[in-house]
């Protein structure tokens, strides 16, 4: 597809510019789909913003954009006016079709293309059956023309699917859709949707391309991947089982992880390693203050620690373990379990929070145990001799580290040859419900940000350790009332310690808005809180 020599006037588009917290040159433009606006990207923006500058676009008549032309040439000109000179383009559904057309019309402006739940052509043709039938599309258009609200409700049912995720998807849509586009905007968008055909122009795209699909998508079937492989074999494709059309809304963690892996393969010059900056002093102070209440609130921590201990026991049968470092030991809840597993091993408890160590020592004295060896230190600067530790056990502690490369390099240094490290940490999908509720209030960093499993694996490799096991599980805790969750987080000392966190007291209106947004996520009478737990087992190689 090529633009005519005499270009149509550009249509006016509202954009939101989100700068990366670190200085980067990478640019990313996000384009939403039909019946939506830029808020569909809310769930994935925090992870994307950690490594790129983001430009969020509202299509004409959507979000904050005034009504405008849906003539494709005019729309592409408008997009060119707000797009950085060189950028990655990512579009969902109709937005992916527009991004694809832009990539062929302005190839010099695009460094890479990502589409989500997107078809090269949305309606069927004589040589194209992987799409909605003409009759079905005309019926849907008539439904929207007759009653736009009911038409949009029907579309939402198709987006959410009929599987086990349908209810959650509907709740998520309710959270992000504040004002629906007007009927004429919806009809204009349908006209554009029916008019774009990118099948033949896609093979002209010379930059890397990634297509992501949901296996249970009722609007754009996952079988589209085979069609794309036929006429654009150089493009990358991934499919998420069980996912519907709402990939950026309901499956943001999966697709951001897919995107980061793709970026690492095709754009090695782009640094994805930009974790949120932590204030280590605040980390230490926060956990010290919570030392007295930690054990009574640490439900998740107990579950994860026991799971990790079981993994440790299975992996180290028959291994020599003369000492154990409980890294980030807190109140030393796991000392008794570690002692049972490794009865002949000397125990070292290390934590950055003096208050936690004091509580651990007090508990050990009350129980009549020996006082053990306690070390107050940062995990990234271990005050231990090289080649001195047989086994490191660290449960839900290393997410408070700033530099994973440095952490695993230190672990490599202090481990003896053949020594083990078993760890559990948190991934970026942690407390997604809490993060989503705060996004309804403002764009501040209210929830601590955690590092994806791909980055963890990279740091392990960089340190020269052997990755024996690395997997992630979603652990969902449930609460009757929101105050139970917030009280639990406060009770264990897990406060927001990132730069960019809000300062000062929240107004009553903001608090009410936050609570209402979280209440919308209630499932079967309970409020969920999801934790993405990453379990790992690594070993120092014999040749080290």
User: Which tokens go with 28?
Assistant: 């990313």
Annotated active-site residue 217? The verdict is yes
Q: Which whole-number Å values give the CA distances from 385 to 79, 414, 416, in the listed order?
A: 58, 6, 10
Count other Cβ atoms within 10 Å, centred on residue 222: 17
Give the whole-angstrom CA distance, residue 478 versus residue 525.
Answer: 10
Annotated active-site residue 245? The verdict is yes
Per DSSP, the residues of 458-506 read: HHHHHHT-EEEEEEEEEEEEEESSHHHHHHHHHHHT----BTT---SPP
Give the whole-angstrom CA distance, residue 95 versus residue 196.
Answer: 11
User: Which tokens go with 19?
Assistant: 């700068």
CB < 8 Å & 24+ apart, contacts of 337-342: 337/305, 337/306, 337/309, 338/309, 338/393, 341/309, 341/312, 341/313, 341/316, 342/391
Give the whole-angstrom CA distance, residue 74 versus residue 540.
Answer: 59
Point out the catalytic residue in the list 32, 235, 245, 446.
245
Point out the catalytic residue in the list 39, 93, 252, 459.
93
74 phi-psi bin (left φ>0, alpha ψ -120 to 50, beta other): alpha
Give the whole-angstrom CA distance, residue 482 versus residue 278.
Answer: 26
Is residue 485 packed enough to be buried (19+ CB in 10 Å), middle (13-18) or exposed (0-12)? buried
Residue 2 phi/psi, 5° resolution? Answer: -125, 145
Asked if 391 contacts 422 with a C-beta cutoff of 8 angstroms, the reply is: yes
Give the whole-angstrom CA distance, residue 517 versus residue 437.
Answer: 5
Point out the catalytic residue in the list 58, 188, 216, 217.
217
The 27-31 sheet, strands edge to edge: 14-18, 53-58, 27-31, 87-92, 110-116, 209-214, 236-240
Annotated active-site residue 93? The verdict is yes
Q: What angle do CA 78, 79, 83 make, to 5 degrees?
A: 125
Instruction: Look at strands 466-479 and 527-539 and give their pairing.
Output: antiparallel
Give the whole-angstrom CA distance, residue 248 versus residue 42.
Answer: 9
Asked if 186 contacts 88 with a C-beta cutoff of 8 angstroms, the reply is: no
Asked if 544 contacts 412 with a C-beta cutoff of 8 angstroms, the reply is: yes
- Report, as residue numbers or ranges, the catalytic residues: 93, 217, 245
């Amino acid at each position: 597809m090529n633009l005519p020599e005499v270009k149509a006037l550009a249509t006016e588009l509202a954009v939101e510019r989100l700068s990366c917290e670190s200085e980067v040159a990478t640019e990313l433009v996000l384009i939403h789909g039909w019946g939506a606006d830029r808020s569909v990207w809310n769930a994935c923006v925090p992870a994307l913003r950690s490594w790129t500058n983001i430009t969020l676009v509202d299509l004409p008549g959507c979000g904050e954009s005034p009504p405008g032309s849906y003539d494709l040439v005019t729309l592409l000109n408008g997009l060119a006016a707000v797009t950085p000179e060189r950028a990655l383009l990512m579009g969902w559904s109709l937005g992916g079709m527009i991004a694809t057309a832009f990539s062929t019309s302005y190839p010099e402006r695009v460094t890479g293309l990502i589409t989500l739940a997107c078809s090269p052509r949305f309606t069927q043709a004589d040589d194209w059956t992987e799409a909605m039938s003409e009759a079905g599309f005309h019926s849907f258009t008539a439904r929207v023309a007759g009653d736009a609200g009911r038409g949009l409700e029907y579309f939402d049912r198709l987006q959410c699917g009929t599987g086990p995720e349908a209810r959650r998807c509907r709740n998520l849509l309710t959270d992000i859709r504040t004002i629906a586009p007007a009927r004429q905007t919806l009809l204009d968008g349908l006209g554009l949707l029916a008019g774009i055909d990118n099948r033949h122009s896609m093979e002209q795209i010379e930059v890397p391309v990634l297509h992501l699909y949901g296996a249970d998508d009722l609007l754009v079937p996952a079988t589209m991947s085979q069609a794309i492989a036929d006429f654009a074999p150089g493009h990358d494709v991934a499919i998420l089982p069980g996912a519907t059309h709402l990939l950026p809304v309901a499956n943001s963690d999966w697709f951001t992880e897919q995107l980061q892996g793709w970026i690492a393969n095709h754009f090695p010059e782009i640094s994805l390693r930009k974790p949120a900056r932590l204030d280590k002093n605040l980390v230490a102070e926060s956990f010290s203050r919570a030392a007295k209440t930690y054990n009574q609130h640490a439900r998740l921590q107990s579950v994860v620690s026991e799971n990790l201990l079981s993994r440790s026991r299975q992996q180290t049968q028959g291994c020599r373990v003369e000492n154990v470092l409980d890294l980030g030991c807190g109140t030393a809840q796991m000392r008794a379990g570690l002692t049972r597993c490794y009865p002949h091993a000397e125990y070292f408890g290390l934590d950055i929070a003096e208050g936690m160590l004091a509580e651990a020592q007090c508990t050990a004295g009350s129980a009549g145990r020996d006082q053990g060896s306690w070390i107050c230190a940062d995990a990234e600067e271990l005050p231990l001799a090289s080649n001195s530790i047989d086994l490191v056990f660290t449960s839900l502690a290393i997410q408070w580290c700033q530099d994973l490369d440095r952490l695993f390099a230190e672990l490599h240094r202090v481990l003896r040859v053949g020594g083990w490290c078993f760890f559990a940490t948190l991934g970026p999908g942690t407390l997604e419900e809490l993060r989503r509720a705060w996004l309804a209030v403002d764009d501040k960093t209210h929830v601590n940000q955690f590092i994806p499993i791909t980055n963890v694996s990279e740091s392990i490799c960089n340190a020269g350790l052997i990755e024996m096991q690395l997997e992630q599980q979603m652990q969902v805790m449930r609460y009757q009332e929101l105050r139970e969750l917030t009280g639990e987080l406060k009770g264990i000392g897990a406060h927001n310690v990132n730069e960019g966190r809000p300062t000062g007291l929240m107004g009553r209106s903001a608090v009410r808005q936050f609570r209402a947004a979280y209440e919308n996520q209630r499932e079967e009478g309970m409020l969920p809180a999801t934790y993405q737990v990453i379990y790992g087992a690594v070993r120092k190689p014999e040749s080290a």
